[in-house]
Amino acid sequence: MSAATVRQEAIQSLRRKLAASEQSHSIQQLVPSGLKSLDALLPNGGLPTASLIEWISEDVGLSAASIALKAIAPMLALPGCLAIVDERHDFHADTLRCHGIPLSRALLIRPAHVVSAEPATNLSRFVRQASAAHSDALWSLEQAARCAGVRVVLTFLEQASSAVMRRLQLAVERSGVTIVLIRPASILHQPSFADLRLHVAAQQPVTATDRRRLSVRLLRSRHGLQHTGHALLEVDHETGAVHSISELADAEPSAATAF
Amino acid sequence: MQSLQRRLRSEGDCPPSLALHTGAPGTTDPKTRTASEAETDLKYLRSVFPSASGGPAVVAVSREAWIAGVRPGMPLAEARSMAQPLTVHRRQVQNKTRRGTTEAAAKTTVVFHEWTPVSDRRALAAVAEITRRYAPVVGLDDMPLPDSLLLDITGCGQLFGGEAALAELLLRDLRQAGCNSRIAIADTIAAVWALTHTERDRPEVRRSSQSSQRRASPRDADIAMLHELPIQIIPPGQQQEELARLPISASRLPLKDLQILAHLGIRSIGQLLALPREDLPSRLSEDAVLRVRHLLSITEEFIGPLLESNPVAAAWASEYPAKTFADIRQVLQHLVENVADQIDRRRVACSMIACELTSVSGTKIPLSASVVKPTQSAELMFDVLSLRLETLPLSEPVAAMSMTLQTVPLPVSRQRDLFSPTEHIRPQEELATLIARLSNRLGPQSVSTFRIQADPRPEHSVTLESILPSDSGESSLPQSEQVLQRLTAPDLDALEKIEQTIARPLRLLAAPQQITGCDDSQRPPEHINVLGKVRAVIDFSGPERIQTAWWTDQPCNRDYYRVLMDSGSQLWIFRDLQTGNWYLHGVFD
């Protein structure tokens, strides 16, 4: 046995012990998403509650948020509401029904909206207002994350400092709330504080069919082993429903380091 | 009349016969000179009794005075000549009022007393204090010569074991205070006013209660037991049916309009509501049309709250003003502790806090904060006020501060689940605190729930409902308990009831964004600029036509398409059928 293999085994063993140790002190529960291929990709076969989950969308309009909603819908079988922090004021709640979430369980939080920049003379005021609106959104997100009456918080978040992410991480560990962040691919180079970081992209080549095929990769898992492979999902054009495709993800542990 | 009778009776030697009359024209009670409401009352009374314009005239009589021949509208001199000296046999009175009773005859005289509108309003305000423990908002009706108290008991019934039990307790308290009253509970002010101002028809009430027992309603079970009391409870959905049988005089229409309707042979509210609504503005006054809209529940009506005579309040003033936010917060904390102590002693809970900050230059700055669930917690009250304070534009030091609380009966915590007593209660408490904090910091409109609306236009298919009322609105507290219950409690039935829907984009742009550079207006564009990146369209499906009638406020004539881009993204675009322009309306994110 080579030295590299021995070192790799030692690292894997330590990682398992660390994960087991963290899980024994955690208030997390695992809730299967109901999407078989996604559950097969996730470290313990489901999404953890009391966690921070990032969904990275390669481009706009790739249904990353729809997949996230479909995946978190089973969590609402537990008490608590779904809080949506909508900084951009464009969340359309009719979609919730497509993913099996009753509207009665959703709470919308919309901080003050900055409509548009006025003439260039008022640009600085516009920037100030936009900055204030973003601060309010982050404050709302943290408040919701600290509230035990909330089960899941969903938001679109582009930029956030490490300090903000760390505060969110601490908040969910304390309250048991799950935060779902929908983020653009531009943040991929930034360090992650998330328990899970998932990446959504279109399956190439894009073809004209009745159903869109999307690929989900697990980029980071805090408590589990890193998985290569991907989950294949498809979105029905007519109903907007997200389905799992029978092809299973490769469950072999990768050689790459997860931390 | 009732309070005056009580006072005279307590003086001992006074007979119960009583008649109220107006003063001579021009000799107004000094107390009414500045009171515009009282002047309106007097003006209205003179329009009802024209004889009161020329000199003192009788405006109200007790039952005994009526038997003696004194009538409202009679000139005072004529009434006096008829009534004095007067011998009214008690037996006559009793025979009129109570069958089979005989008592010894007794002599009685009619006492004439000058009527003052202010006294009436003051007496009603005093009665309102008795009713405050049953409702967070108590007000007078907005008619001239108000004679009714309006209580918003939304969500309060469960604190007393149901709306029927609440009504019974309220009736008991009013009777103990010497008030002979009628109580009605319904969904609108127009309905309760009409019911309480119409002589009750017992067989009708019984019939409506029997039919209502077949319907599922929380009020149904309470009705049968109330038919012996002057209490009427109208189950939700039966209001129009009950109103239809009432006389037109109970509709609160102005006198002139009532005369017009009488001339047309309209005798009941049912006949009035059956008239074509579009014809009413040409025949009736603006006020009358508004009253009809109230009766039909088209226009919502609010209760103008009466201020409490002894509210929970605290105040601070100092010659050394509070200059910084830290100073103001410290004063606020001091005041909050004070009022928290008061509500604890009174066994009530706070539903809204109203503060007034006075700057050194005398400028008054209002500061108010609400909570979702009534609370006694000083910590929460201080928290929401502090969050509101952060949004306040303060430019000067504060020299004085006052704080007044709107209070409601203390809510009772109830165990909902035998084996996990706190499982469902704790999330609700926590969520109530969160909503209060968010609403007070961001504004009440920023925190809302969703409601599906039957509107084909995508932007109107879901409406937002604020959980806390806005600052300017006079609406009462919403049914927060039910909202919190709905939000937090898992409802597996609701999950099953979700019907199959048509795909809609998760992000719907507030204003559709026009797509430029389309060569052929009949086919979707080949390229679309999405957030600064130009993408090629490789496929599309549609159209889905969404069209509304031309008379709607924002007519919609659109053909929607779902387009697939070369990046795999899916967008929702539409062609305006009137202009032929293409617009990006949503993103399937």
Is-contact B476 B154, C-beta < 8 A?
A: yes
Give the residue from B410, B403, B404 showing the smallest Cα distance to B345. B410
Asked if B509 has any chain A CB less than 8 Å from its own CB, the reply is: yes
What's the gap in Å between the CA of A199 and the closest CA on chain B?
A: 14
Distance of CA B79 to the CA centre of its chain: 42
Is-contact A85 A137, C-beta < 8 A?
A: yes
Chain B residues near residue A61 by CB distance under 8 angstroms = 530, 565, 567-571, 587-589
Is-contact B424 B416, C-beta < 8 A?
A: yes
> Residue B336 is inside which H or E element, if any?
helix B325-346
Low-confidence winner among A148-162, B452-466, B542-556 (lowest mean pLDDT): B542-556
**For residues B552 and B586, which has the higher predicted lDDT (pLDDT)?**
B586
**How does residue B102 score in pLDDT terms, banded at 50, 70 and 90?**
very low
The string of DSSP letters for A140-154 reads: HHHHHHT-TTEEEEE
Chain B residues near residue A97 by CB distance under 8 angstroms = 498-499, 501
Average pLDDT, chain B: 78
> For testing the chain B interface, which of A58, A88, A94 should be mutated: the one with the most B CBs within 10 Å?
A94
Is the CB of B488 less than 8 angstroms away from the CB of A149? yes
What percentage of chain B carries pLDDT values higher than 90? 11
**How does residue B34 score in pLDDT terms, banded at 50, 70 and 90?**
very low
Is the CB of A90 less than 8 angstroms away from the CB of B507? yes
Q: Output the CA torsion sign for B340, B344, B346, B348.
A: positive
Q: What is the pLDDT of residue B348?
A: 82
The string of DSSP letters for B244-296 reads: HTSBGGGG---HHHHHHHHHTT--BHHHHHHS-GGGHHHHS-HHHHHHHHHHT
For residues B581 and A142, what is the distance between their CA atoms, to the nearest angstrom? Answer: 42
| Tokens (6 digits) for A7 | 């070192």
Is-contact A254 A220, C-beta < 8 A?
A: no
Q: Residue window 541-570, chain B: list those with CB within 8 Å of chain A.
A: 541, 562, 564-570
Residue with tokens 């109580």: B183
Residue with tokens 């129009």: B240
Is the CB of A102 less than 8 angstroms away from the CB of B494? yes
Nearest to B588 among A61, A94, A97 (CB): A61
- pLDDT tens track for A33-90: 888 888 888 887 888 888 999 999 988 888 899 999 999 999 988 888 999 999 989 8
Cis (ω within 30 of 0) for the bond into B85?
A: yes
Is the CB of A81 less than 8 angstroms away from the CB of B429? no
Instruction: Pinpoint the alpha helices (H) of B68-162.
Output: 76-83, 90-97, 117-131
What's the gap in Å between the CA of A118 and the closest CA on chain B?
A: 17
Q: B101 in helix, strand or coil? A: coil
Cβ-based burial of B302 (10 A; exposed 0-12, middle 13-18, buried ≥19): middle
CA angle B481, B131, B201 (to 5 degrees): 95
Asked if B446 has any chain A CB less than 8 Å from its own CB, the reply is: yes
Chain B residues near residue A60 by CB distance under 8 angstroms = 530-531, 569, 587, 589
Is the CB of A112 less than 8 angstroms away from the CB of B464? no
Is the CB of A100 less than 8 angstroms away from the CB of B498? yes
- pLDDT tens track for B140-188: 888 877 888 999 888 788 788 888 889 999 999 888 888 888 899 998 8
What's the gap in Å between the CA of B438 and the closest CA on chain A?
A: 7
Q: Is pLDDT above 60 for B35?
A: no
Is the CB of A149 less than 8 angstroms away from the CB of B428? yes
How many angstroms separate the Cα of B213 from the Cα of each of A141, B128, B163, B192, B260?
47, 32, 15, 20, 39
Is the CB of B488 less than 8 angstroms away from the CB of A80? yes
Q: How many helices (H) and strands (E) does chain A have?
A: 6, 11
- pLDDT tens track for B251-293: 888 888 888 888 888 888 999 998 888 788 888 888 899 999 8
- The whole-model pTM stands at 0.66
**For residues B144 and A223, which has the higher predicted lDDT (pLDDT)?**
B144
Residue B450: φ, ψ to 5°: -105, 150
- pLDDT tens track for A74-93: 998 888 899 999 998 989 99
Is the CB of A92 less than 8 angstroms away from the CB of B568? no
Is the CB of B494 less than 8 angstroms away from the CB of A62? no
Is the CB of B502 less than 8 angstroms away from the CB of A238? yes
**For residues A22 and A235, which has the higher predicted lDDT (pLDDT)?**
A235
What's the gap in Å between the CA of A190 and the closest CA on chain B?
A: 22
Chain A residues near residue B529 by CB distance under 8 angstroms = none
Is the CB of A97 less than 8 angstroms away from the CB of B498? yes
Q: A181 in helix, strand or coil? A: strand
- pLDDT tens track for A110-131: 987 655 545 545 666 666 667 7
Is-contact B163 B233, C-beta < 8 A?
A: yes
Mean pLDDT, range B242-252, rounded to an integer: 88
Distance of CA A162 to the CA centre of its chain: 17
Q: What is the pLDDT of residue B10?
A: 62
For residues B285 and B192, what is the distance between their CA atoms, to the nearest angstrom? Answer: 23
What's B345-407 look like in SS3? HHCEEEEEEEEEEEECCCCEEEEEEEEEEEECCHHHHHHHHHHHHHCCCCCCCEEEEEEEEEE
Is the CB of A149 less than 8 angstroms away from the CB of B430? yes
Chain A residues near residue B435 by CB distance under 8 angstroms = 107
Chain B residues near residue A208 by CB distance under 8 angstroms = 538-539, 564
Distance of CA B63 to the CA centre of its chain: 34
Q: What is the pLDDT of residue A110?
A: 92
| Tokens (6 digits) for B580 | 């032929």
Is the CB of A109 less than 8 angstroms away from the CB of B441? no
For residues B549 and B542, what is the distance between their CA atoms, to the nearest angstrom? Answer: 21
Is the CB of B442 less than 8 angstroms away from the CB of A109? yes
Is-contact B19 B61, C-beta < 8 A?
A: yes
Chain A residues near residue B488 by CB distance under 8 angstroms = 79-81, 149
How many angstroms separate the Cα of B365 from the Cα of each of B352, B354, B393, B538?
17, 11, 9, 59
For residues B421 and B416, what is the distance between their CA atoms, to the nearest angstrom? Answer: 6
Q: B493 in helix, strand or coil? A: helix
Chain B residues near residue A56 by CB distance under 8 angstroms = none
| Residue B409, strand partner residues | B348
The string of DSSP letters for B544-562 reads: EEEE--TTSSS--EEEEEE
Is-contact B102 B90, C-beta < 8 A?
A: no
Q: B148 in helix, strand or coil? A: coil
> For testing the chain B interface, which of A86, A146, A147 should be mutated: the one with the most B CBs within 10 Å?
A147
Is the CB of A61 less than 8 angstroms away from the CB of B570? yes
Is-contact B321 B399, C-beta < 8 A?
A: yes
Q: What is the pLDDT of residue B372?
A: 86
Give the residue from A2, A85, A48, A162 showing the smallest Cα distance to B448. A85
**How does residue A155 score in pLDDT terms, banded at 50, 70 and 90?**
very high
Q: B149 in helix, strand or coil? A: strand
Question: Number of residue pairs across A and B with CB atoms under 8 Å?
Answer: 210
